[in-house]
Chain A
Amino acid sequence: MSDIVGLAKVADENLNFYVSKALDLANFNIRRKVESVSIKVNLCYYWDSFTGYTTDPKLVASIIDVLREKYRLHNADMRIVEADATAMRAFHAFKMLNYEELAEEKGVTLFNLSNDKVAVRKVCVNNRELSLKIPQSLLETDLFINMPKMKIMSATVITCALKNLFGCIATRRKIVYHKMLDEAIVGVNKILKPHLTVVDGIIGLGRFPVKMNLIVAGTNPFSVDCVVSKIMGYNPSQIGHLKLGHREGLGDPREIRVVGEDLEKLREMFPRVRGLRLKMGNRVQIQLFKLYSRIVGDVTPPFLET
């Protein structure tokens, strides 16, 4: 059976309507009792949603409203969750990116996954056994919602639903996984299975931030990423973690049905960066700096030290 991925364009300020529409398009339903909801946002750094880097709190507010009103989850314990990253502390990000205000307004809690009990899970990816520290509460929550951004990233070309779950790993210095990033992303996604993914494509990030006014929804994060990848102008079969994810059974790019907006029109809007340039740009610059410094003996600014 095909995974359905819904594309809804936000045409006015009634965000709740478009979130609800995207969820309908994705054929999302809740058929069990839900007492706890965890919403994993993407707060990779302290730059707000207008930069295209972090999930827009207004969209999160809409999800909360829609869950309460449409799916009658008035009494569920709702938490917005994020974990510390190598350079980011969730405590500061919640405050700086207006999540504290949102939590107060909506009566939900903010939770740093790095402070959670940790379940060490072993998972085999690409014939390699990975041991990953997973926040216990994410394994126990009744409804797990993944709210990534749609953006480019030099290490993985695109970063969206699957990569956002990599951000759940309780280890602060996630940079240690960057040498086997595709495996780690797929590994986490073999363990954590969100019930719903809602992509914040209000502002997408390519060569520059662009107002896409888009919400992408689906129940399989792999399928969502394949569709987002196409919108961003990249073939999913050429994105490392999607290729590996397919091989490891996270989903099948051929078994996806896209409903709602015209994907081709959306693709035209996105400011694509050539994959090679994206992957090599910074790395080449830094290597050239190092080579030059080594030969000439010039100073390398500490900012560029690796």
Chain B
Amino acid sequence: MLNVGVIGLGQMGRLHLYDCFHLDGVKVVAAADRSKRFLSKAGALGVKNLYSDYHAMLNDPRNLDAVVISLPNFLHYDAVRLALESGLDVFVEKPLARTVEECRGILHSVEKSGRKLMVGHCMRFLDAIEKMKNLVDEGHIGSLEAVTAEQILNGPFSHGAVPTPVPEWWFDPEKTGGGVLLDLGCHMIDLFRFFAGEADVVFSHLAHKMNLAMEDGAIVILRSKNSDTKAIINVGWYQKSIFPSYNFRFIVHGNAGFISTDQFTPRNIYSHAIKEGAKNLLRKIAGRKIKPLTYTYYYEQYFKELALFFDCVKRDLEPPVTAVDGLRTVEIVHKAYELADSAVKLGSPAHRRG
């Protein structure tokens, strides 16, 4: 049995917490968050040790084997390093950290500690992406020539069933480390790397429609270093999207055909939810384990990534998304920032004011 601590109980942290209860051989024994409300939720689920400061948890790691970290970006570096130095295996939400330097520091800690680290680049585990990857690897589209990857949502400017304010750190570029390119773009970049290997930035355009201190839209062109495959990455925070709408598309174009995530996305999400929910109900009645979150068509990826991480910890395997992957992605994001800085930022407040 792995004893696990969950650090950060925001939306992602709570999702990971709930997912842990469906994983065999995993026991959540500790949780940390500044919010008393969320700590009491964890307490109600049977988590024994509750901390208002994650340092207190990590300074006394005797009962822990691993931690799941879902903190604001500016705390990743501190929390991840402390956890690794405390001898714990770490799952950390994406991005690995705000800057290339912080990512390198974390990578150094991973190497020094010998512990495992997995970054939550969850979209690799989306059912549609897994199927597409298999088909590409089996040669179904010929040689991979180009990729179109887009994810345009509200980003942090969304609220759930009960409206809650956007946490203030999201408005501070020092604390986020970047805008939508780091937040959502890192998913698209990671997917491109997953399909086409290491990549370089060819073009970068950042948009500032929402007058934020960081970009709320980005279009970036990447080129694979190994295969000359190109990608157009198009991400934005500027679109009002309300659950269950999910504006994500990934298309792989080969010289023998193409595949899109649209082909694997349920046409009717409600009938999909009913069908998958019914399957789980039957599993429950038959006394078998349910498959968590399959009734949604994209939340399942979060369960899968966590399951894979703990499996790697138990079997002493390298996690499927490592600190190096996290570093490479953040390197590409910052390369895109540099490239955009040297170009005219069409649509930016400065540009509009002339």
Chain A residues with CB under 8 Å of chain B are 45-48, 51, 53, 85-89, 92, 95-96, 98, 100, 175, 282, 286, 292, 295-306
Contacts and interface: CB of A to CB of B under 8 A. Distances in A.
A302 B280 contact: no
B295 A305 contact: no
B72 interface: no
B28 to A, nearest CB: 13
Contacts of A297: 284, 290
B281 interface: yes
B161 A303 contact: yes
A115 B13 CA distance: 33
Contacts of B165: 86-89
Contacts of A301: 11, 15, 293, 296, 299
Contacts of B240: 47, 51, 53
19 contacts: A45-B157, A46-B157, A47-B157, A89-B165, A96-B210, A96-B211, A175-B163, A292-B281, A296-B277, A296-B290, A298-B290, A299-B18, A301-B11, A301-B299, A302-B11, A302-B160, A305-B161, A305-B162, A306-B162
Interface of B: 10-11, 14-15, 18-19, 22, 157, 159-166, 171, 209-212, 240, 243, 277, 280-281, 284, 290, 292-293, 295-296, 299, 303
B171 A87 contact: no
A295 B290 CA distance: 12
Contacts of B284: 295-297
Nearest to B242: A282
B303 A282 contact: no
A300 to B, nearest CB: 7
Given A96-B210, A298-B292, A303 B160 contact: yes
Contacts, number: 86
A103 B99 CA distance: 36
Nearest to A53: B240
B281 A303 contact: no
B22 A299 contact: yes
Contacts of B161: 282, 286, 303-306
A48 B210 CA distance: 8
A92 B213 CA distance: 11
Contacts of B10: 302
Nearest to B210: A96
B158 to A, nearest CB: 8
Nearest to B156: A46
A175 B162 contact: yes
B243 A303 contact: yes
Nearest to B13: A302
A102 to B, nearest CB: 12
Which of B161, B162, B243, B280 is most buried by chain A, counting CB atoms within 10 A of its CB? B161
Nearest to B157: A46
Contact of A292 (B14, B18, B159, B295): B295
A305 B18 CA distance: 12
Contacts of B160: 302-305
Contacts of A306: 161-162
B293 A299 contact: yes
A226 B159 CA distance: 30
A295 B15 contact: no
A279 B201 CA distance: 48
A75 B289 CA distance: 72
Contacts of A292: 277, 281, 295
A299 B11 contact: no
A99 B280 CA distance: 50
B352 to A, nearest CB: 9
A297 B165 CA distance: 29
Contacts of B164: 86-87
Closest 4 CB pairs of A and B: A87-B163, A303-B160, A302-B14, A299-B18
Contacts of A304: 160-161, 243
B207 to A, nearest CB: 14
A85 B162 CA distance: 12
Nearest to B303: A299
A98 B161 CA distance: 27
Contacts of B209: 48
Contacts of A92: 166, 171
Given A96-B212, A305-B162, 12 more contacts: A45-B157, A47-B157, A86-B163, A86-B164, A87-B163, A87-B164, A92-B171, A296-B290, A298-B293, A299-B18, A304-B161, A305-B160
Given A286-B161, A301-B293, A87 B166 contact: yes
B134 to A, nearest CB: 26
Contacts of A100: 211
Contacts of B15: 299, 301-302
Nearest to A290: B161
Contacts of A298: 277, 280, 290, 292-293, 295
A292 B283 CA distance: 13
A85 B290 CA distance: 39
Contacts of B157: 45-47
A48 B159 CA distance: 16
Contact of A296 (B162, B171, B243, B281): B281
B211 A300 contact: no
Nearest to A89: B165
Nearest to B160: A303
A94 B20 CA distance: 41
Contacts of B162: 175, 305-306
A158 B196 CA distance: 50
Contacts of B295: 292, 298
A46 B154 CA distance: 10
A80 to B, nearest CB: 16
A97 B155 CA distance: 17
Contacts of B19: 299
A160 B159 CA distance: 22
Contacts of B210: 46, 48, 96
A302 B159 CA distance: 11
Nearest to B209: A48
A255 B277 CA distance: 53
A139 to B, nearest CB: 27
